Amino acid sequence: MRIIFAVKLAVYAAILLFSGFSLMASAEGKSALVITVNGAIGPVSAEYIVKGIQTAEADPTIEALVVEMDTPGGLDTSMRQIIKEIQRSPVPVIVYVAPSGSRAASAGAFITMAAHVAAMAPGTNIGAASPVNMGGEGMDKTMKRKVTNDAAAYIRSIAEARGRNADLGEEMVRQGMSMSETDALKQNVVDIIAKDLPSLLAAINGKTVKTGAGEKVLATAGLTVKRLEMNWRQRIFDALANPNVAYILMMLGFYGLFFELSNPGAILPGIIGAICLILAFYSLQTLTINYAGVLLILLAIILFVLEIWIPSYGALTLGGIVAFVIGSLMLVDSPEEYMRISLSVIISATIFTAAFFFFLVGSGVRAQYSKVTTGREGIIGATGVADTDLSRDKEGSVMINGEIWSAYSHDGTIEKGREIEVTKQDGLLLTVREKTR
């Protein structure tokens, strides 16, 4: 019996040793592709993750794809696009909520639970997956129940497919539940807690996962790390997805078009304004903007312009400021903080716009109506000093603005040194009269 036991023990040891050598050998020359998603889930981040999966699939040296994620949530359509690609992927996809302080909220919770391996760093959290209307408009009870039931069924199916806690996943949707990384690990929401990427790769080595191509044993110990960054186009459009950027672009678009309409033929302000407005509308396409907010902002700009032409003693400017602030607050009224325009940005834009129209544009318009001081129109009414005696019949000279002009008296005699005022110009010859005090 002892001999048989010793033989079995030797066989088991050989199998374990061989498996370890196999995993280490298979990891030689291979690497883990790492991408980083930091921000809301939208069309750009979906394209970025899908591109990462496709890149890993096309490269035989890639053992696994790691998605380092910190997101407050995002669009349902983009989330589902990412999850479909993960479920189809023959390459294991590891979602790692990191670094410390990160979160996988809302759409991020769905994506994490859909991963072949779900991992979290210390000091992170997951959950708060209740569906909301991104447009900020309230849903009636029937619609809200339908949307919630759909999301709950979806996260349950994802969790069950990965062998994770479907009940807690559903509670994240229905109750908006959120939990720390330690609770998530205890409750079988995620698979592992790792302090950093090397620790994560070492910990999951030898784990069996079910990919789109079937079961696969991960050989991740000692993998080199390759990072796939967003390309320049993705970085630009990812920045445009920020509602604060969209708001600023919309303001610049209004300014540019206003300049063009005020100064026809300037061309450049109109071109810049049109480009900014188009980019703003692209940014706002994911937000379903409140058109009442847009109309209030337009009303505010109209009131600012009217202040220049109509002396209202500040009443129009005050009304414009109120309309501008309310319109900006209403423009994107989402329950999610990351989808709202920052109050500091709104206040800054309001102050700048009010000052712009009140001082800059006002000064320009007032300058157009001010008295001309150059040319033929500018010399009429100008004052100076008689450089010689003048009369209606005797030509003399006068000093005006440091220049000497030939002049006749308008009526009577003007003695040298008297202050004069120009009444008429005929070429280089002026007609002047003595200025009365």
Catalytic residue among 106, 178, 328, 334: 106
Active site residue 146: yes
Biggest alpha carbon–alpha carbon distance for the chain:
148
- Describe the chain by its helix, strand, coil percentages, rounded to 5: 50, 20, 30
Mean per-residue pLDDT pooled into runs of 10, the chain (437 residues) = 45 42 52 93 91 94 95 90 96 96 93 96 92 56 86 94 94 93 95 95 94 92 92 83 84 81 76 87 71 84 76 76 85 68 84 74 59 60 85 84 83 83 82 80
Q: Is residue 237 part of a domain?
A: no
Which of 234, 226, 204, 202 lies closest to 216 in space, CA to CA?
Answer: 204
349 and 249 co-located in one domain: yes
158 and 37 co-located in one domain: yes
Q: Is residue 409 part of a domain?
A: yes
| C-alpha distances in Å from residue 398, one per residue of 27, 211, 326, 393, 436 | 99, 98, 61, 15, 17
- Report the 10 Å Cβ neighbour count for 187: 15
91 and 222 co-located in one domain: yes
184 and 285 co-located in one domain: no
Distance of alpha carbon 210 from alpha carbon 116, whole angstroms: 7
Which of 327, 320, 249 lies closest to 282 in space, CA to CA?
Answer: 249
314-340 burial, b for 16+ CB within 10 Å, e for fewer?
eebbebbbebbbbbbbbbbbbebeebb
Strand 429-434 versus strand 403-409 pairing type: parallel
- Report the 10 Å Cβ neighbour count for 342: 13
Cβ-in-10-Å burial (0-12, 13-18, 19+) of 126 comes to buried
- Name the token pair of 60: 């035989």
**What single string gives the DSSP state of each residue in 50-116?**
HHHHHHHHH-TTEEEEEEEEEB--B-HHHHHHHHHHHHH-SS-EEEEE-STT-EEETHHHHHHHHSS
119 and 76 co-located in one domain: yes
- Name the token pair of 402: 């440091």
34, 66 Cβ separation under 8 angstroms:
yes
Question: pLDDT value at position 8?
Answer: 44
Q: Is residue 102 part of a domain?
A: yes
Question: pLDDT value at position 277?
Answer: 85
Question: pLDDT value at position 4?
Answer: 47
| CATH number of the structural domain spanning residue 406 | 2.40.50.140
Question: pLDDT value at position 349?
Answer: 84
Whole-angstrom distance between the N-terminal and C-terminal Cα of the chain? Answer: 134
Residues with Cβ within 8 Å of residue 394, at least 6 apart in sequence: 408
Q: Is residue 108 part of a domain?
A: yes
Q: Is residue 299 part of a domain?
A: yes
Q: Is residue 121 part of a domain?
A: yes
Q: What's the domain count of the chain?
A: 3
Q: Is residue 394 part of a domain?
A: yes
250 and 276 co-located in one domain: yes
189 and 84 co-located in one domain: yes
**What single string gives the DSSP state of each residue in 390-435?**
B-SSS-EEEEETTEEEEEEESSS-B-TT-EEEEEEEETTEEEEEEP
54 and 182 co-located in one domain: yes
Domain boundary among 368, 400, 423: 368
352 and 407 co-located in one domain: no
84 and 129 co-located in one domain: yes
130 and 160 co-located in one domain: yes
Cβ-in-10-Å burial (0-12, 13-18, 19+) of 234 comes to middle
Domain boundary among 179, 214, 232: 232
- Name the token pair of 18: 């061989």
- Name the token pair of 230: 């967003």
Q: Is residue 162 part of a domain?
A: yes
Catalytic residue among 146, 195, 394, 416: 146
Domain boundary among 368, 393, 423: 368
| CATH number of the structural domain spanning residue 44 | 3.90.226.10
Helix axes 107-114, 141-162, angle to 10 degrees: 20
- Domain with 393 in it: 375-434
Active site residue 371: no
72 and 159 co-located in one domain: yes
Question: pLDDT value at position 360?
Answer: 61
Question: pLDDT value at position 134?
Answer: 47
- Cis before 122 (ω within 30): no
Question: pLDDT value at position 22?
Answer: 42
